[in-house]
Structure 1
Amino acid sequence: MTRALHNPLNQTLTRSANFCINFIVKVPFSSSSLQTIENTHSKTLSNPLYNLLPENQNPNQIVNLISSSLKQTNSKLKHLQNDIKSLVPHLGSNEITRVLLRFQSDSFSALTFFNWVKNDLCIELSSHNYSYIVHILAWSKNFHLAMELLCELIDLVKDRSNCEDVFEMLLFCSKDCNFDPVVFDMLIKGYVRKGMVREGVMAFRKSLEAGYLPSVISCNCLLNGLLRLNFFDQCWLVYEEMGRVGIHPNSYTFNILTHVFCKDGNVDKVNEFLERMEEEGFDPDLVTYNTLISSYCKKGRLTDAFYLYRIMYRRGVIPDLVSYTALMNGLCKEGRVREAHQLFHRMVHRGLDPDIVSYNTLISGYCKEGRLQESKYLMHEMIGSGICPDRYTCRVLVEEYAKQGRLLSALNLVVELRRFGVPISSDIYDYLMVSLCNEERPFAARNLLGRISMDGYVPKQDIYYKLIESFCRCDSLADALLLKAEMEHRRIEADRVTYKALICCMCRTGKIHEAESLIEEMLKSGILPDAQICRALIQCYCKKLDVYKAESLLKFFAKEFQIFDTESYNFLVSTLTEDGDVNKLMELQDRMLKVGFAPNSLTCKHIIHGLVNATRLEKQKLLVS
């Protein structure tokens, strides 16, 4: 390498090449002169004069260099990256495609190169590059990786928000390489997987127009996607198109369409459809019958559901757990739990082991009828069978105990379940805490909190709010403040309802100064008071006969927060009437009118009462004198 640099001929060639390149860039050529060939998909300048440069500096040689390196060992790509660092900017979409096409019979090398460009060189690959690698992988039967990259291509086109069409690109690229029409099936599935079902329908139709028949599997995938989105009309259009072009449905197709009938509410047309299904040579299978039985049960048509259940045996289709559970659920909805339980026993006698859904169906049915003893018996039977009650089981039982006013029994049930090793979800604990607070039993709720906190339960802010409110309603201010301190330690901020509960409790228990301090804290937190807080403070001061302070606060709330609470005003008027000082009463009314308080009928009653009191007191003074 060193000798080559000192060679005079080599130096002359290098200087000549540099001169020619600079001349080409600076001097405009005529149409007959040598020009740079531009390609929208390529960054390389295909100029013959580049051939005067060493191979690893010649942009025209980048495809050969990479291909040669790939043919030796894939690990050489990283070493090559350093050797051709100056050429990497010339590795455009066109060059990437040329390398891929050279290795279309060696999918491993093609994929290695593709990932090297994408991950190591961090070059943004074009939609066409993706299309070629998808074709190469599909042709090599590497369908899993092909589907992954096809989904990436779908996302790529979607994110770029351009007018590119994935189907058209795949079709265009298929002309230059070996390809398997299965890629168009994969495209339909890819669209459905990405939730782009409308695009999947378009790909289905374009495949037919191009002369490629999608497989029944991809059609079923498309029908399933349309069913999930409740596009029932589109389902039938796709099915009709399948029949027109000769794509033969299978039993899975018919089961999907049975679901369409049931979800669309056309259960009455099912018999006609089943006849067509039999004409096609397909007998309804277990999935078909279960779909129909479940649909009939949901619509309350138990007679039809049990008719199908009997037909299944005649046709040699043995009902499974799904069949029995659907029928039991239908019976329970109509309040026929005893019959559902009998069907449960019949299912067990026929050799089927009940699962969690079967037990939950019966437990829920008994709970709805308020028959907790039977529900609990089933729960024990379930645990004895080695089936652990789930969140639904626990929730149904606990809620029914609470509904019957038996919260203590609900708590005992939770303790019992924990002893059996059944995990209790946090929402059940939340429900119990709220129920205890609603029954004004905050001490029991706090004791429960203490026990379950050791199991890792962390109460949400709503639970803290409920507990504080409940303690405040019981005038247990100290306990409420302890909980508030615990909230602050957990960095949970109090809301207006919590502040209101605490302030009202303080006012009821005569702790007016603490209430005022809490209002200041509330205002610093950016929470504004309401009429109820205003009322609690005014009433507290009035009970202490501090009318001046009550009036000041009333004005303060009106001016600062536009709270004009007539009830507070009337309470203040009522307090003054007890003194029988009519002058003070009239002066107060004048001052309040200026602030914005207007008297109502109750205010007039209080004033009349004050006048009566004043007259009575005057008479008493005259009698005494």
Structure 2
Amino acid sequence: MKKKMISELHNKVGTFTSSFHSHHSKIQSTITHFEQFVRDRCKSGNLGIEEAKGLFDNAIQMRPSPSILLFTQLLGAICKLRQYPTVITMFKAMESKGIKPDLVTFSTLINCFCQMGKVGFGFAVVGNIFKSGFEADIVIFTTLLKGLFKKNGVKDAIKLFNKITEIGYSCTDVTYGTMIDGLCKTGNVDQAIKLLQNMESGNRKPDLVTYSAIIDGLCKDNQIPKAQKLFREIIEKGVAPNVFTYSCIIRGVCSLGMWKDAESYFNKMVNSKISPDIVTFSIMIDALCKDGRTEKAQTLLELMSTRGVSPNVVTYSSLIDGLCTSSQWEEATKLFSEMIDRGISPNVYTFNILIDAMCKEGMVKKAHELLDLMIERSVEPDTITYNALMDGYCLHNRMEEAAKMFHSMVVRGCEPSVISYTILIDGYCKAKKLDEAMQIFEDMRSKGLAPNVITYNSLIDGLCKVRRVATAQELFKKMQAQGPIPDVYTYNSLLDGLFTNGSYEEAMLLFEKMENGGLEADIITYSTVIDNMCKSNNVDEAKKLFDSLPSKNLKCDTMIFTIMISGLLTKGLLQESEDLFARMLDKGPTPNELTYNTMFRGLLQNKKLDKAEQLRNEMVKRDFSLDAKSTSIIVDLHASDGPDSKLTGTFDKIESKRQREGIVTAVELDV
């Protein structure tokens, strides 16, 4: 009986065991198939985030749990979709279910933290790696280095790199590449070059990516000759540059205006059977435009199409800018229309190029129409757009429209800048509406914007021109006390205002303070001072100052020579003025129409009629006309000397012109 019972129990256990093994086998088969499916979906490259989440939810609920490999693959795929917070959430869910990560899972988590700029959390994960019995590998440390550079933690990256090499980790080419790329992008190109040299001395062969990173870094650091040298060296080493390397070096030489070098590299690239991409073409088109060769740039645009490279908004914007700079308005607007027809939407930069250029050429109405088109196409105008239009209106003294544009700017939520206020202030000053200018100045300060030196200069110059010199001096004192520091233009405006206002002594005192204060006066400063010295009968002092200018490394222009000649003539120093005029003819600067008229009047007033007639003949050869003052003196001399005057021929020509054009002479006005 007992034996029978044991036999039956044994049979039942056997049946149960067989059933259990069969069920377990089915579960394992299901899991295996699921893992294979997940693996295939992850490798497919078209796994979406929602599907990935669904697969993860199914996996985490399975019992027994799938292998850690499945979870790692899923997390890796989601990381590639840049869904970094989702990966972190899933990792926490795995931990709560007791699913233990492997080294690759930890590595994926660190990458997510680094991509999110949370490198500190990445280092905390390294601590967990060691606690879990793993050892962080060079891949993990390379990821951390990338994270540190991404966060601009250059010092920490260098420190970490030194530490891992000191411990004995064998850095891979990827690690070196990461360091070199990071150092170059953060402006530490010299340190990157040292690291490159360490690589080469350690029998490592840097790849093209590493070399290209350094060439790019050198170009961005304006070390163009070094970049060119390295470019030649890598070719000698048998490393063939690619389209990125060529684009870097072309952009570099273009930044220094080395247009011929850029063209040479471009031709080498094409001859090497390397197809230029959109970046290369855009750089070259921009370079040709900046060199004024818009026709060749347009040819290059056509070449792009034949090579199957579609121009983008940057390409078109560069060419439109070049055409506007060379005043080819018809071509620029035609290209703008072509761009839209090809389905390439102009951005705010493109619109700004055209608007600014049109405003500078006085085509404000067309520029305003472009603003309307911008808004119609949902391209939001920025401060530069409004500033260009305000400046356009101000240039033509259309202050009402400029003020309306300023108001529109504020209404549309575009915050006016210091430049915006300065444009309006300068416009009102030039229109001699100083009360309005002062009001805008106060509004600007009430908004917390600090006026710059150009703002103050506009106001001081405007105030001086309407003889409100006292107010200008108050602003000048405010600048000296609070900033910005007055520049040479500030002093020039104030000097001119003081002289015009009859405050000669005060102006000369300001000029002395300027010289003693270490601010270098320019030729306009000296022209103003010398002119007013001469007008105040201080011609000898003026001549001394004039003669000292070469020692101040200042090149005297035609205007200051003319002022000095006029001053000498006023004092009756005809010979000295003739000597100065002869010096201009011999060594420059070239006398202009005003200089000739000044000298001509001096000769007439000193009764040197032969010389005056000779000078008049020279003026005719140069196509220079007599001005009103010269004409008046001739008329007066003819009236006093009679028809036998040596200048009768000149007088007859003047009289003939007077009758043709209805000129009223000083004699007829009895002045």
Q: What TM-score do the two structures reach when normalised by structure 2?
A: 0.48
Q: Tell me the distance in 1 between the aligned counterparts of 2:302 and 2:499.
A: 69
Correspondence 1:83-232 to 2 at 5 A: 137-138=175-176, 143-145=181-183, 151-152=189-190, 173=201, 176-177=203-204, 179-232=206-259
Are residue 413 (structure 1) and residue 440 (structure 2) matched? yes
Q: Tell me the distance in 2 between the aligned counterparts of 1:290 and 1:446.
A: 45
Q: Tell me the distance in 1 between the aligned counterparts of 2:235 and 2:518.
A: 61
Match of 2:294 in 1: 267
Aligned-pair distance for 1:460? 6.0
8 Å contact from structure 2 (residues 464, 497) kept in 1:
yes
Distance 1:316 1:402, change over 3 A: same
Q: Deviations over 1:141-197 (max 9, x none)?
A: 6631477798325888xxxxxxxxx99x679536x2364443322332233133232
Aligned-pair distance for 1:212? 1.1
Distance 1:208 1:469, change over 3 A: closer
Match of 1:247 in 2: 274
Aligned-pair distance for 1:317? 0.9
Secondary structure at the counterpart of residue 275 of structure 2: coil
Match of 1:397 in 2: 424
8 Å contact from structure 1 (residues 104, 110) kept in 2:
no
8 Å contact from structure 2 (residues 352, 385) kept in 1:
yes
Match of 1:443 in 2: 470
Q: Deviations over 1:267-289 (max 9, x none)?
A: 22344323322233211111111
Aligned-residue sequence identity (percent) comes to 24
Q: Deviations over 1:429-458 (max 9, x none)?
A: 133224434544322223445677786566
Correspondence 1:220-619 to 2 at 5 A: 220-449=247-476, 531-532=540-541
Correspondence 1:36-51 to 2 at 5 A: none
Secondary structure at the counterpart of residue 375 of structure 2: helix
Aligned-pair distance for 1:415? 2.5
Correspondence 1:67-86 to 2 at 5 A: none
Match of 1:15 in 2: none
Q: Tell me the distance in 1 between the aligned counterparts of 2:475 and 2:162.
A: 57
Secondary structure at the counterpart of residue 344 of structure 2: coil
Aligned-pair distance for 1:310? 2.0
The one-letter code sitting in structure 2 at the alignment partner of 1:531 is D
Q: Tell me the distance in 2 between the aligned counterparts of 1:366 and 1:494.
A: 34
Aligned-pair distance for 1:200? 2.0
Distance 1:383 1:464, change over 3 A: same
Q: Tell me the distance in 2 between the aligned counterparts of 1:400 and 1:363.
A: 9
8 Å contact from structure 2 (residues 394, 427) kept in 1:
yes
The one-letter code sitting in structure 2 at the alignment partner of 1:272 is T
Aligned-pair distance for 1:427? 2.6
Q: Tell me the distance in 2 between the aligned counterparts of 1:112 and 1:307.
A: 56
Distance 1:298 1:181, change over 3 A: closer
Structure 1: stretches of 5+ with no match in the other structure: 1-102, 117-131, 157-165, 509-528, 536-564, 571-600, 603-625
Q: Deviations over 1:437-483 (max 9, x none)?
A: 454432222344567778656656885797588568757799889x9
The one-letter code sitting in structure 2 at the alignment partner of 1:202 is K
Q: What TM-score do the two structures reach when normalised by structure 1?
A: 0.51
Q: Deviations over 1:481-514 (max 9, x none)?
A: 9x98xx79x98999999xx99x99xx99xxxxxx
The one-letter code sitting in structure 2 at the alignment partner of 1:210 is K
The one-letter code sitting in structure 2 at the alignment partner of 1:269 is K
Structure 2: stretches of 5+ with no match in the other structure: 1-137, 146-155, 164-169, 545-567, 574-604, 607-671
The one-letter code sitting in structure 2 at the alignment partner of 1:310 is S
Q: Deviations over 1:41-69 (max 9, x none)?
A: xxxxxxxxxxxxxxxxxxxxxxxxxxxxx
The one-letter code sitting in structure 2 at the alignment partner of 1:173 is S
Q: Tell me the distance in 2 between the aligned counterparts of 1:566 and 1:280.
A: 70
8 Å contact from structure 2 (residues 250, 283) kept in 1:
yes
Distance 1:474 1:305, change over 3 A: closer
Aligned-pair distance for 1:426? 2.9
The number of residues matched between the two structures is 391
Aligned-pair distance for 1:237? 2.1
8 Å contact from structure 1 (residues 465, 494) kept in 2:
no
Q: Deviations over 1:229-276 (max 9, x none)?
A: 222222222122223334332211111121133223332234432332
8 Å contact from structure 1 (residues 436, 442) kept in 2:
yes
8 Å contact from structure 2 (residues 183, 189) kept in 1:
no
Which piece of structure 1 moves more, 384-393 or 304-313? Answer: 384-393
8 Å contact from structure 1 (residues 197, 225) kept in 2:
yes
Secondary structure at the counterpart of residue 423 of structure 1: coil
Q: Tell me the distance in 2 between the aligned counterparts of 1:534 and 1:140.
A: 67
8 Å contact from structure 1 (residues 207, 213) kept in 2:
yes
Distance 1:293 1:411, change over 3 A: same
Secondary structure at the counterpart of residue 198 of structure 1: helix
Aligned-pair distance for 1:369? 1.6
Match of 2:628 in 1: none
Aligned-pair distance for 1:221? 1.3
Q: Deviations over 1:57-85 (max 9, x none)?
A: xxxxxxxxxxxxxxxxxxxxxxxxxxxxx
Distance 1:278 1:437, change over 3 A: closer
Distance 1:152 1:437, change over 3 A: same
